[in-house]
Amino acid sequence: MHIEIETRALKAAVLAVPTKDVREYLTGVCLEITGHQIIAVGTNGHWLFAARVEHDEAVEDTTLIIPKADVEQALKGHKDETIALTRLTNGEWRLGRTIFKPIDAKYPDWRRVVPKKPPSGEASDYSPQYIAASAKALAVWNRIPVNGFASYVIYQDGLNGAVAQGADLDGFCVVMPMRRPKEARADPDVKWALKSG
């Protein structure tokens, strides 16, 4: 098997992958390869990025988890819009110039947190670091320059995951809500700002 993958899909997905986790299957980017389509997914269990890209060669269905360090090594200095993925022998693969062995584990069912109905719009509490990380991943996916302005929409759905999506609808993030601290107020207290002089 030899296919070309859009580099931006891997660059965005790897942002969601933790460097260390006791759940080894989370420490890599999952590629689901079916026919002419590749879905790249990265998650730390609190937020995820997923994107689908098309490729020219019809290939056998394969799912593999590429270790984060190997994805980063392959992307280091890689400037092309695509990167080659090739199956070698003895269970090894090559991504660009980096040879790796996939993580031998079953990736979690990431589709379970993707909303199956339109979001309610009900607000919830989210980690600012995961919202910021999802913004960075969407900027990479939507080809926004490092210091460029990225605009995307967050579709909230109460205690379900919020979907964040930019202009390119083939990529999105899901950010899971946090438990609200007991001391948190139900409504914001901003009355003091409305008083003048």
Domain total for the chain? 2
Residue 54 within any structural domain of the chain: yes
Residue 49 within any structural domain of the chain: yes
Residue 189 within any structural domain of the chain: no
Q: How would you class 122 by CB atoms within 10 Å of its CB: exposed for 0-12, middle for 13-18, buried for 19 or more? A: exposed
What's the predicted TM-score (pTM) here?
Answer: 0.89
Residue with tokens 């339109």: 118
User: Can you give the pLDDT at residue 147?
Assistant: 72
Q: How would you class 189 by CB atoms within 10 Å of its CB: exposed for 0-12, middle for 13-18, buried for 19 or more? A: exposed
Lowest mean pLDDT among 68-82, 86-100, 106-120, 138-152: 138-152
User: 5 near 82, Cβ under 8 Å?
Assistant: yes
Residue range(s) defining the domain that contains residue 157: 113-175
Whether residues 64 and 118 share a domain: the answer is no
Whether residues 143 and 88 share a domain: the answer is no
Average pLDDT rounded to a whole number, residues 180-186? 67
User: Ramachandran region of residue 121, left (φ > 0), alpha (ψ -120 to 50) or beta?
Assistant: left
Whether residues 66 and 123 share a domain: the answer is no
The helix/strand/coil state of 69 is helix
Give the neighbor-by-neighbor strand order of the sheet with 82-87: 2-6, 82-87, 93-95, 98-100
Residue 105 within any structural domain of the chain: no
Whether residues 66 and 119 share a domain: the answer is no
Q: What is the pLDDT of residues 11-49, one digit of tens each?
A: 999 999 998 877 888 899 999 999 889 999 999 999 999
User: Can you give the pLDDT at residue 95?
Assistant: 97
Whether residues 48 and 136 share a domain: the answer is no
Of 83, 81, 63, which Cα lies nearest the Cα of 2?
Answer: 83
User: Can you give the pLDDT at residue 22?
Assistant: 79
Whether residues 23 and 84 share a domain: the answer is yes
Q: What is the DSSP string of 31-61?
A: EEEEEEEEEEEEE-SSEEEEEEEEEEEEEEE
Whether residues 21 and 76 share a domain: the answer is yes
pLDDT-derived band at 65 (thresholds 50, 70, 90) equals very high
Is the pLDDT assigned to residue 82 strictly greater than 90? yes
* CA dist., res. 177 & res. 145, Å (int): 28
Assign residue 47 the CATH number of its domain: 3.10.150.10
Q: What does pLDDT average to over the chain?
A: 90
User: Can you give the pLDDT at residue 112?
Assistant: 94
